[in-house]
């Protein structure tokens, strides 16, 4: 009744209709926000088997109960859609200020459907939603489009502007296109291509609405408590590894454990890893950047020069260092930084893009493609100039780039003999942790709802950083239950929507208290757990409806069949039988049918999502 | 595609959904705005036989193609709904700044449906629409609610605030409740009761959007031309009768022609008319007020004291002077001014309210009601204190006021023996022109789409002020065609939406040029004429659908059966046979079935509204 808080806005780009409606409390309490609420909306409002590029596909931006409040590390936003990479449920997240600004502009959720006749952008301006011509922005790099639009919208009355855009890749339906915002991205799965398919160049937010807080004092207390923990935790405190280098700390960890995918996953240690590790990049660090309400500021500006061209870049993250670095046998931070920047400008996911380059290199080295196919590019592993050139081709969807732009699954159907080393699950390329050296991560990838993913559970901490006797990384024992619990933790981050880094210091109990303070509910750990289970089951149900089942919960053949030859994990594969046993145990643990991997009626009943 | 112009906003107070959609050009070109567009929307989106107080009834505020532009006298707005007084189509208009501000706030049309759980108001703020609690405003007089809300919304960034409110009468479903704005009102037919039935206290508008003009230079030219004509025309120029006294000039005209309804229509001259004529009121005039973009400024502040109570009032208009004056045999401007002000505070139509008082006085004088019924009030004609007291009772829906609050038609079913002098058509009380002295006005009343009305055609000019040989006011000859043409002129005012006073100077050709300039169409006189016919037929079709037909196109029995005894029109009645012949001729002229009075298929086909 207070008008602006807790409202869902729907924009149909075909009819140009804009609808806003309250977010019902019973729905919010069942699905909270972010992934949960997005799954609820997508499951209910997207017709089954809708082509991801069809106007009817929904592109949902949403927030969580803590977004826009003073609670630390709560400044992220989600985008939810059906993925053109995988055909599965897709949720991607980005930091910056887009999430908080969506609330300040008047809405919790923005649901976009339809397809505009001409390029447009959506402006949400202190509650008012308009659809505006974007002809002048079309074709521009994400960064340029954002800058131009920001200048035209001028910040006023203390109301900042937040903008999310697609680049040329999204416009051209490069399948791995992402949505960029303030040097960050809603990265994986192709949400940018969905946005491009709608002729939607950008979403701009401006507003000065206050976020409603049920109990200001209680929120102040728990936010203060959380900030204190962040300030004290060795990972997140000033001078800690996250403020210093963010995700770049990971390269050393995966390298020493034999889990750093190298040479398109033929190996899992990289000879020049030290040249591209965290310290190597941090030498070129010129600034730190923080998302809204983040005391950690893990993001960093890196300045390098490759082939005479200067790059001033926000990033790269570890995943990019893996995909364009070890995976392509590139040992030069400047090349990785340049490739990362190009991906940002075209608006493309760096894991998919770097993986596609590594995959093409293996094709090239094996003679499956030649310079005739590559337009003269010498795609031997380690050729940095070729990497940069190939990113351009993928972004422009030209030549061999057009083949690769759909990701390695589709490319492998066009390049004969390459299917055995197309490294993906359900069509999404694997992030930079090799399951042959950490068996739990294999289960993580196989079961992730959006295709292979390292943030739908990640065994980095439990298998690599701080393994217990029970979690030997080469063992399969107990991994099913471990992964199922980790998944719920990641769902927690994604329904809240909260940053996983802050969670090194903040406890689930803190989050629960913060939710109670903002919503006025007596939220509980038990309720949170059920809610995360409900959400995880709902995305599974979505995928089941689209035809996915147990047979899709698998890994690329290379991980089952080919051992690496060097480093601590040499000789290791993922044992197919042991893997299938893990799957049995997992389905058993979460209450899914063992034969099909589909949630049982009993499970759905218990979670209050039956009879749909 | 420019986002804000030409948009329809829908607010459902039950679901709290807000939807905006483009106003399609083909619809705008067929129905233009105001009455036409409102009729289109009501006909299509209101289910037949919806109770006017049902949540499903629609309350539509809209504007015209010139609203918010610099074209003079274009500052009015319309409200369209199904009338609780009559059950017919209802369109009412008000000046001030509400119409232009609706456009500046981002919309051409605001369609309200549903019923709020608790009292609310709607805020349209630079495109953003919110539904807000109005508990603190509930129960307040219109003027106080407007002031309080205006203060709470503070004008900012040069964006003015416009507010329309209901008073206690609308809240209590007093059937003749109106909607007040800036001392003006959407007056007749009970739109305020519909608003009250929705628990909607107010609509507030704020914004600084520019109104889109296709050809600025062309508009400047025609607006300048129109302003020049207004400045030169004897009625509208500085010192002219409209700037001096507005509608109050009429009292002298109706008095000298024997058309001033007196003593509840028993007579049509009033012995003390001179005491309440224009000059009498203007002696107490302290200020002039103009609507948005009006060079005439016909509205005036009148200060009087009655029974020791000071009244500072915007008004009254002639209709109020008739209804509370001659009709109740009140010869004191201060009493009329006080009654007018009370009607504004409670939020009630003054024609219906004054007519109900006059009707009650006749009941009282005839002994049909006594002081037992009136709570002690002596309701003899001419008792000013009783008039004021009775307005309070009607506004509060207390005692005899509750009976009268539904209007004379409903009251006459409760007071035995009063039906013969309940002066209404289709449930709406007659304005202050007696058809016995101007036969064409009788046809006007009988055929008006919202019940008896003097602004759905008015023969004041053609029968009283400037009669030709062909338009003898006591004759029935040629009146059918005359009225049918006048109706189209009034539809023109109401689709534009333009003030009828400016039209004394501005020509239809000027309006057509102004529409072309604002819309970019090559609008023509022929197109305008067809459009007004289409609109008039559509409201007729709406009423037909609700069960109205020829039998309802009639006049109160008194006008057929009782002649007045004094003045120029003494001895005159409306001859029933001659009246029915006029009706035949009228139906024939406009292409309606003579037996039923329903538009023929042929007519609907010609106007492009068949097959609905």
Q: How many domains does chain B have?
A: 3
**Residue A16 is nearest to which of B21, B130, B132, comparing CB atoms?**
B21
Q: Looking at residue B158, what is its pLDDT?
A: 67
Contact call for residues A168 and A396 (beta carbons, < 8 A):
yes
SS (H, E, C) B241-274: HHHHHHHHHHHHHHHHHCCCCECCCCECCCCCHH
Strand-strand pairing, B299-306 and B309-314: antiparallel
pLDDT grade for A160, boundaries at 50, 70 and 90: confident
Task: Spell out, as residue ranges, where chain B has pLDDT lower than 70.
Answer: 1-5, 157-158, 610-612
Q: Indicate if A49 and A97 belong to the same structural domain.
A: yes
Q: Is B215 part of a structural domain of the chain?
A: no
Contact call for residues B62 and B108 (beta carbons, < 8 A):
yes
Q: Is A343 part of a structural domain of the chain?
A: yes
CATH code assigned at B267: 1.10.569.10
Contact call for residues B190 and B176 (beta carbons, < 8 A):
yes
Q: What is the DSSP string of A179-207?
A: EEETTEEE-TTSHHHHHHHTTEEEEEEE-
**pLDDT mean over A548-562:** 98
B52 exposure class (CB count in 10 Å sphere: 0-12, 13-18, 19+) = buried
pLDDT in tens, A224-254: 999 999 999 999 999 999 999 999 999 999 9
Residue A322 reports pLDDT greater than 60: yes
Tell me how far apart the alpha carbons of residues A548 and A545 are, in angstroms, rounded to a whole number.
Answer: 7
Q: Looking at residue B192, what is its pLDDT?
A: 98
Closest residue in A to B10 (Cα–Cα): A19
> CA dihedral in degrees (A527, A532, A536, A541; nearest 10)?
30
Give the H/E segment covering residue A283: none
CATH code assigned at A555: 1.10.599.10
pLDDT in tens, B424-477: 999 999 999 999 999 999 999 999 999 999 999 999 999 998 878 778 999 999
Cα B61 to Cα B164, B180, B456, distances in angstroms: 10, 13, 19
Tell me how far apart the alpha carbons of residues B173 and B167 are, in angstroms, rounded to a whole number.
Answer: 10
Decide if the complex's ipTM is over 0.90.
no
- Residue B18 per-residue DSSP state: E
Closest to B59 (Cα-Cα) out of B203, B195, B231, B155: B195
Q: Is A231 part of a structural domain of the chain?
A: no
Mean pLDDT over all residues of chain A? Answer: 95
Residues of chain A in contact with residue B4, where contact means CB-CB under 8 angstroms, are 128, 130
Q: Indicate if A22 and A110 belong to the same structural domain.
A: yes
Q: Indicate if B362 and B442 belong to the same structural domain.
A: no
Q: Indicate if A460 and A580 belong to the same structural domain.
A: yes
Q: Looking at residue A612, what is its pLDDT?
A: 54
A14 touching B (Cβ < 8 Å): no
Contact call for residues A401 and A390 (beta carbons, < 8 A):
yes
Q: Indicate if B387 and B451 belong to the same structural domain.
A: no
Are residues A15 and B3, on separate chains, in Cβ contact within 8 Å?
no
Are residues A106 and B127, on separate chains, in Cβ contact within 8 Å?
no
Answer with the one of B391, B422, B453 that is the final residue of a domain.
Answer: B422
A133 touching B (Cβ < 8 Å): yes
Residue A611 reports pLDDT greater than 70: no
Token pair for residue B462? 């053609």
**pLDDT mean over A435-463:** 97
Q: Is A577 part of a structural domain of the chain?
A: yes
Residue A4 reports pLDDT greater than 50: no
Provide the H-helix boundaries in A468-575. Answer: 479-496, 508-519, 525-545, 557-561
Are residues B4 and A128, on separate chains, in Cβ contact within 8 Å?
yes
Q: Looking at residue B4, what is its pLDDT?
A: 35
pLDDT in tens, A458-488: 999 999 988 787 789 999 999 999 999 999 9
Q: Indicate if A169 and A38 belong to the same structural domain.
A: yes
Residues of chain B in contact with residue A1, where contact means CB-CB under 8 angstroms, are 16, 118, 120, 131-133
Q: Is A191 part of a structural domain of the chain?
A: yes
Q: Indicate if B375 and B258 belong to the same structural domain.
A: yes
Answer with the one of B191, B206, B221 that is the final residue of a domain.
Answer: B206
Answer with the one of B369, B399, B422 that is the final residue of a domain.
Answer: B422
Q: Looking at residue B612, what is its pLDDT?
A: 54
B120 touching A (Cβ < 8 Å): yes
Token pair for residue A319? 């995943």
**Residue A20 is nearest to which of B2, B18, B22, comparing CB atoms?**
B18
- Å between A336 CA and nearest CA of chain B: 41
Tell me how far apart the alpha carbons of residues B494 and A334 are, in angstroms, rounded to a whole number.
Answer: 70
**pLDDT mean over A24-34:** 93
CATH code assigned at B138: 3.60.9.10
pLDDT in tens, A488-529: 999 999 999 999 999 999 999 999 999 999 999 999 999 999
Are residues B132 and A2, on separate chains, in Cβ contact within 8 Å?
yes
Q: Is B42 part of a structural domain of the chain?
A: yes
How many helices and strands (H and E) does chain B possess?
24, 17
Closest residue in A to B4 (Cα–Cα): A130
CA angle, A541 then A351 then A316, to 5°: 130
Q: Looking at residue A276, what is its pLDDT?
A: 97
Provide the domain limits for residue A343.
Answer: 238-422
Strand-strand pairing, B18-22 and A18-22: antiparallel
Q: Looking at residue A2, what is its pLDDT?
A: 34
**Residue B131 is nearest to which of A1, A17, A131, comparing CB atoms?**
A1
Tell me how far apart the alpha carbons of residues B111 and A226 are, in angstroms, rounded to a whole number.
Answer: 47
Q: Is A338 part of a structural domain of the chain?
A: yes
Token pair for residue A421? 């080393």
Q: Indicate if A572 and A476 belong to the same structural domain.
A: yes
Tell me how far apart the alpha carbons of residues A442 and B499 are, in angstroms, rounded to a whole number.
Answer: 76
B19 touching A (Cβ < 8 Å): yes
- Å between B600 CA and nearest CA of chain A: 34
B311 φ, ψ (degrees, to nearest 5): -125, 125
Best of B128, B157, B212 to mutate (most A CBs within 10 Å, chain A) = B128
Q: Indicate if A380 and A444 belong to the same structural domain.
A: no
Q: Looking at residue B154, what is its pLDDT?
A: 80
Q: Is B97 part of a structural domain of the chain?
A: yes
Token pair for residue B149? 């809300």
B114 touching A (Cβ < 8 Å): no
* Long-range CB contact pairs, A7-10, < 8 A, 24+: A7/A106, A7/A107, A7/A108, A7/A109, A8/A41, A8/A107, A8/A108, A8/A109, A8/A110, A8/A111, A9/A106, A9/A107, A9/A109, A9/A110, A9/A111, A9/A124, A9/A129, A10/A110, A10/A111, A10/A112, A10/A113
Provide the H-helix boundaries in B60-190. Answer: 98-104, 142-153, 168-171
Closest to A30 (Cα-Cα) out of A531, A604, A532, A495: A531
Are residues A19 and B17, on separate chains, in Cβ contact within 8 Å?
yes
Q: Indicate if A469 and A400 belong to the same structural domain.
A: no
Closest residue in B to A123 (Cα–Cα): B3
Q: Indicate if B417 and B451 belong to the same structural domain.
A: no
Closest residue in A to B207 (Cα–Cα): A128
Q: Indicate if A473 and A328 belong to the same structural domain.
A: no
Residues of chain A in contact with residue B16, where contact means CB-CB under 8 angstroms, are 1, 21-22
Are residues B21 and A22, on separate chains, in Cβ contact within 8 Å?
no
A27 touching B (Cβ < 8 Å): no
Calculate what percentage of chain B has a pLDDT beyond 90: 95
Write the CB contacts of A541 (distance below 8 Å, at least 6 apart in sequence).
Answer: A43, A598, A599, A604, A609, A612
**Residue A19 is nearest to which of B18, B22, B127, comparing CB atoms?**
B18
Q: Looking at residue B5, what is its pLDDT?
A: 46
């Amino acid at each position: 009744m207070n008008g602006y808080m807790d409202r869902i806005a729907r924009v149909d780009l075909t009819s140009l209709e804009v609808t806003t409606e309250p977010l019902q409390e019973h729905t919010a309490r069942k699905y909270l926000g972010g992934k949960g609420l997005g799954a609820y909306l997508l499951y209910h409002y997207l017709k089954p088997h809708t082509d991801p590029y069809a106007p009817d596909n929904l592109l949902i931006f949403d927030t969580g109960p803590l977004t826009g409040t003073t609670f630390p590390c709560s400044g992220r936003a989600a985008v939810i859609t059906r993925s053109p990479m995988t055909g599965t449920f897709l949720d991607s997240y980005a930091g910056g200020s887009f999430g908080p600004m969506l609330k300040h502009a008047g809405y919790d959720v923005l649901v976009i459907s339809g397809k505009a006749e001409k390029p447009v952008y959506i402006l949400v301006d202190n509650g008012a939603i308009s659809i505006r011509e974007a002809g002048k922005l079309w074709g521009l790099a994400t960064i340029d489009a954002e800058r131009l639009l920001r200048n035209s919208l001028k910040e006023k009355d203390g109301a900042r502007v937040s903008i999310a855009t697609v680049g040329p890749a999204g416009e051209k339906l490069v399948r791995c296109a992402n949505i960029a915002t303030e040097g960050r991205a809603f990265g994986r799965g192709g949400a940018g291509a969905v946005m491009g398919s709608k002729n939607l160049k950008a979403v701009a937010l401006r507003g000065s609405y206050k976020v409603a807080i049920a109990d200001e004092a209680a929120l102040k207390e728990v936010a203060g408590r959380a900030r204190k923990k962040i300030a004290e935790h060795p990972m997140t405190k000033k001078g800690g590894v996250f403020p210093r280098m963010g995700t770049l700390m990971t390269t050393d960890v995966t390298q020493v454990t034999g889990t750093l995918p190298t040479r398109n996953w033929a190996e899992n240690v990289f000879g020049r890893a030290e040249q591209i590790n965290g310290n190597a990049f941090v030498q070129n660090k010129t600034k730190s950047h923080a998302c809204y309400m983040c005391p950690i500021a893990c993001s960093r500006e890196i300045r390098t020069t490759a082939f005479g061209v200067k790059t001033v870049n926000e990033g790269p993250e570890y995943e990019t260092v893996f995909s364009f670095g070890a995976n392509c046998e590139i040992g030069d931070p400047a090349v990785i930084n340049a490739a990362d920047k190009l991906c940002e400008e075209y608006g493309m996911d760096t894991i998919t893009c770097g993986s596609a380059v590594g995959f093409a290199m293996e094709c090239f080295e094996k003679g499956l493609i030649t310079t005739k196919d590559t337009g003269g590019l010498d795609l031997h592993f380690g050729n940095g100039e070729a990497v940069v050139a190939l990113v351009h081709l993928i972004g422009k969807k030209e030549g061999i780039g057009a083949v690769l732009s759909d990701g390695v699954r589709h490319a492998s159907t066009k390049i004969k003999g390459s299917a055995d080393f197309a490294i993906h699950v359900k069509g999404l390329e694997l992030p930079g942790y090799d399951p042959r050296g950490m068996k739990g991560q294999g289960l993580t990838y196989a079961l992730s709802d959006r295709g292979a993913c390292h943030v739908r559970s990640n065994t980095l901490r439990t298998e690599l950083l701080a393994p217990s006797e029970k979690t030997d990384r080469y063992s399969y024992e107990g991994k099913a239950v471990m992964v199922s619990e980790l998944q719920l933790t990641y769902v927690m981050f994604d329904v809240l929507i909260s940053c996983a880094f802050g969670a090194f210091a903040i406890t689930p109990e803190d989050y629960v208290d913060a939710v109670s303070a903002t919503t006025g509910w007596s939220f509980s750990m038990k309720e949170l757990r059920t809610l995360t289970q409900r959400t995880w089951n709902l995305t599974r149900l979505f995928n089941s409806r689209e035809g996915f089942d147990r047979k899709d919960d698998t890994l690329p053949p290379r991980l089952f069949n080919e051992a690496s030859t060097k480093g601590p994990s040499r000789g290791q594969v993922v044992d197919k039988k042991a893997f299938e046993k893990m799957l049995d145990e997992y389905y058993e643990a979460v209450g899914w049918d063992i034969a099909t991997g589909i949630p049982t009626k009993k499970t759905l009943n218990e979670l209050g999502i039956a009879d749909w």
